[in-house]
Chains A and B, each alone.
Chain A
Amino acid sequence: MTSKYKGWKEIAPAGVCSKSSRTFLTGDWKTYTPILDLEKCIRCLICVMFCPDGAIIWVPDKKDIEFDMSFCKGCGICANECPTKAIEMKLE
């Protein structure tokens, strides 16, 4: 915790978490990185549904999915569930 934030003794009894966790990057936890083969991907978005970390996003303008490596924890769920085996987990 940085000094900018009050400690638990100073905050009101009902503390308020005010900062979005989207500013807390969990991407450096991973040891494996998902690599997507766009040729094999059929845009079914199964990986988007199952990623526990919201690290795969559907970009309507591009009509494609994108991985957000700043949140991916490298769990491998996307690779395991992909019906066309378009995602491969590579050791960082």
Chain B
Amino acid sequence: MTTPQLDGGFANLSHDAAHAFRAALQAMARPGRIEMLALARPPAPCSQAAGALILTLCDSTTPLYLAPSHDQPGLREWITFHTSAPIVRPEAAMFALGTWDALSPVDRFAIGTSAYPDRAATLIVEMTSLATKGASLRGPGIKDRAQLSLPEIAAFQDNRRRFPLGFDCYFTCGDRLAGLPRGAIVEG
């Protein structure tokens, strides 16, 4: 008998985590570039890319918020079994998973402190499509300009205004992954 929430983890723990991290690193270092990440098979509605991010970055020391779009028993059990990450409210989360609408209002999430700006949340935003078109991006990691199909503009402009404080985002869709650090300058 197989229990669905036990399946779908990394087949080769250290190699798969290494590949997944490298994709996550490249995505955060080069906003507007889409990486492929298909190493995990989490229960619905979680995408493969979001599942791999969680397996790679989360553990018992990283409180995780599941937005209503993703707060479902099968996914909760899968995350708990594979990572032991405590499921918490938005304000206490180091990571958060959900659709943009379900994660909003995003001003609930930790943005770090002036002494420790690293103590900020990372949002994993599940998208119905993810493409290198739409909002215009400038800033670190970007040669001239890039484009990314962001779910909105204003929230990322507000986030940039608080730099070096702010949350950082991953956008996931199926096996596709993109990153948006807080310092990105987003224009319509």
Are A and B interaction partners?
A: no
Task: Point out residues on B near A: beta carbons under 8 Å.
Answer: none
